[in-house]
Structure 1
């Protein structure tokens, strides 16, 4: 980083080529016991360190029943041209309580401290709940997407927080149109656009996954919501249909002039490419389809969908990665030709097949696989959140999706604790391989087993930083 510039990196390729190797991970940890506190774990990932693969610090929220989920920064690379700003606060919204925690990671990055708590009442006063994605804006403001109204009905909106006072100042959306549901978002000012995604109605999905809810348009979303960035108005809704149920994580290509990106649709495990068409409108089409697996359990044959839970793009826009939480897979695709992604790597962790299911293949029943072992520990659960090193060579994988769903689908993981593993990446020819010597075990934490979710690096990463075009 330049001493004469603001936070982050000058460009995605600057981060890719010149960014430092990560030495610590900040990991959101959720307590399955809601009478205990969630926390931010600081994990040592420096191979030269004596505490490698260990949690070296825990920053507790001071409250219970929070359900920390995603995180973001007070400022990021979109503020690179402002030398008065400093990336020193990690912002942690919580789904259930709606509290937002600002954690000081600048004073002592290895031992972050709680800087301020923004009470959930502030967010509710603007008729918003279930905060999800945090991005900083070039104005220095913090914007957080929300999924519910004060009664936890579906409502897609965004709250703004003043990055200096850390007070909720209002909502971002203007005009008469509002998104039916909310989840993730990504902005691209060069094309005067922001696109947001949809999960569903919080008061229903918060109690678990209910298959009968999926086809109910009042409980699960299927659309991309396209806003005019300069006026904050919802201008277009792209309905992806039944194969696009629960479009969750959305990523523009990192090139700030790019007019395309990808979104992962959870329920049917599909990737859609979205792009700006010649007439100025935005369109989307499916480019990756992970088929359901035929499985057998308790005398019943059924189909098991992958449940695509996270996606990300390498900073050079060469590779797309995604996880399928129920199938237990992590995939790598070459997206040099974004319209025709090419599979280049896959690692399987077993997923739901470890929970007594047997795979039906070629008319035969396959044996239930044993849990994958890393450093002698059985890995109960499945890959969920992903984080890629700046140089694209190391992919970190954690296990928790959302604690009510964790308890429903992977009770053994909840009982024994989640984990983080590392996948090594061939960035030249493609290909991914599990590192057998890397494991962070959250089964023996001080207050009992916990559930690791999203991961960040102190200097930013490929899923939290957004760059602005220079001209």
Structure 2
């Protein structure tokens, strides 16, 4: 009998990933802010030749209510090619692990045999996560060495405010194995984690503990510079903390980490939501300088002046809209960096061919706290929310994003509601963005739920690590 082949969506190089067949479907998680309806995994048709292009074509409810699904991801991906001790012919990119940021439950969905109909196969409750790993409030996950790495904002039950950290889950059984860290060092707040796979380095970032975020941003804590403002470097194989790099206390909330997709590289980007000095947002490049890690600010995005009457209460005293950088994404070829400015409603594209000197080459606007820029498909409908969770196709030609940040923060900055919408941009190979007028799932298509993160069939720019140059 012939041996089963390795999953064809495991790519050894970024170039191989870009050359593979494009995505036909996008998985998008959606949540009910009121916790009266079930949160859901939705499936969007992204095949432009399909009659249902840009429409919701699949829907699976979560079993409980009030999970507030947020970030999610695959059980396995291209990094599996670097693993040792796995049966590579049994491991496949098949299951989506969907954590609830408020409930601490983790629901596992099987996307086969019908890619449009994910089926729930397992729920790991928050008590199990707490007992086995000592963490709660699961946030971001990446398939990687030894298993699934799941960052958590909170500590064990009864100690929700931490420290947060990384739980390690089994690729195949989804059992919570343990806390990943063996020597956690000084990191207390947590947010994101990813790695330089061939360098044996993990990078992690900081947001805040659950009580600092779950009811909205706390102005006193922000102005007191109490949110996270550092990134951390770890020995990936050993789980040992190596170095803390402080970006400066004024640079509040260091969120998404996006390492270069080149497995031999030693640089990447992290986005900072806001500066308490001037309301700007910023992008920092980390890199290794001989034996030490360091970081430098390479992009600053200033706030935009605004009529206080058009601003939510939290911003009225400043008479300005901060960009509020809430997500970034790096194309698989490391050529373009995308920056979501959720406050101003702008998606920016930077050429980062020279990562130390990014140059803006594209921009579109949809939504925004003041502008409420409409989508070309509905030019008379002002949009709330703004570009938030962004995902880039493996070939770099398509950029997708949704408009909700986090329930309580949505309400704080868009008090009249954010609605629900998703957009797609076409990216020029030489730089530049245009809105796809035929792609605009929105409103009741999402059954009253708000939409958050996106995962693309076959992998995308923020879910895979490659192990060959």
* TM-score when normalising by structure 2: 0.91
- Distance in 2 (CA, whole Å) between partners of 1:306 and 1:83 is 46
- Distance in 1 (CA, whole Å) between partners of 2:268 and 2:68 is 29
Asked whether the equivalents of residues 157 and 178 of structure 1 are also in contact (C-alpha less than 8 Å), the reply is no
Give the direction of change, closer, same or farther, for the CA distance of 1:276–1:37 in structure 2 (3 Å limit). Answer: same
Map Cα deviations across residues 405-462 of structure 1 (whole Å, 9 max, x no partner): 1122224444xx31011111111x211111222201133444xx21111001121111
| Deviation, structure 1 residue 300 | 5.8
| Deviation, structure 1 residue 80 | 3.0
- DSSP 3-state at the match of 1:234: strand
> 1:344 aligned to 2:361?
yes
> 1:108 aligned to 2:114?
yes
Aligned match of 1:303: 320
| Deviation, structure 1 residue 61 | 0.9
Please, which runs of 5 or more residues in structure 1 have no aligned partner?
355-368
> 1:290 aligned to 2:301?
yes
> 1:92 aligned to 2:110?
no
Aligned match of 1:238: 245
Asked whether the equivalents of residues 367 and 387 of structure 2 are also in contact (C-alpha less than 8 Å), the reply is no
| Deviation, structure 1 residue 71 | 0.8
Aligned residues: 446
Asked whether the equivalents of residues 198 and 264 of structure 2 are also in contact (C-alpha less than 8 Å), the reply is yes
CA root-mean-square deviation = 1.9
- Distance in 2 (CA, whole Å) between partners of 1:132 and 1:98 is 9
- Distance in 1 (CA, whole Å) between partners of 2:197 and 2:391 is 25
| Deviation, structure 1 residue 228 | 1.2
389-398 vs 75-84, greater mean Cα deviation? 75-84
| Deviation, structure 1 residue 3 | 7.2
- Distance in 2 (CA, whole Å) between partners of 1:411 and 1:346 is 26
Aligned match of 1:459: 458
- DSSP 3-state at the match of 2:334: coil
Please, which runs of 5 or more residues in structure 2 have no aligned partner?
83-87, 276-280, 310-315
Aligned match of 2:269: 262
- Distance in 2 (CA, whole Å) between partners of 1:187 and 1:445 is 34
Map Cα deviations across residues 255-287 of structure 1 (whole Å, 9 max, x no partner): 011100000001231000000111x11000000
1:48-447 equivalences under 5 Å are 48-80=49-81, 82-125=88-131, 126-139=133-146, 141-149=147-155, 150=157, 151-175=159-183, 177-216=185-224, 219-268=226-275, 269-278=281-290, 280-298=291-309, 302-354=319-371, 371-376=374-379, 377-414=381-418, 417-427=419-429, 429-446=430-447
Map Cα deviations across residues 331-385 of structure 1 (whole Å, 9 max, x no partner): 000011110001101112241114xxxxxxxxxxxxxx66455335432221101
| Deviation, structure 1 residue 296 | 2.0
Asked whether the equivalents of residues 38 and 64 of structure 2 are also in contact (C-alpha less than 8 Å), the reply is yes
1:11-30 equivalences under 5 Å are 11-16=13-18, 18-30=19-31
240-249 vs 4-13, greater mean Cα deviation? 4-13
Give the direction of change, closer, same or farther, for the CA distance of 1:272–1:300 in structure 2 (3 Å limit). Answer: closer
- Distance in 1 (CA, whole Å) between partners of 2:406 and 2:5 is 41
- Distance in 2 (CA, whole Å) between partners of 1:107 and 1:247 is 39
Asked whether the equivalents of residues 332 and 343 of structure 1 are also in contact (C-alpha less than 8 Å), the reply is yes
Map Cα deviations across residues 73-94 of structure 1 (whole Å, 9 max, x no partner): 1111011362331111011111
| Deviation, structure 1 residue 253 | 0.6
Asked whether the equivalents of residues 145 and 184 of structure 1 are also in contact (C-alpha less than 8 Å), the reply is yes
Asked whether the equivalents of residues 8 and 76 of structure 1 are also in contact (C-alpha less than 8 Å), the reply is yes
* TM-score when normalising by structure 1: 0.90
- DSSP 3-state at the match of 1:212: helix
| Deviation, structure 1 residue 9 | 1.2
Map Cα deviations across residues 95-147 of structure 1 (whole Å, 9 max, x no partner): 111101111012211111111111111112233111111111233x1110111
| Deviation, structure 1 residue 216 | 3.7
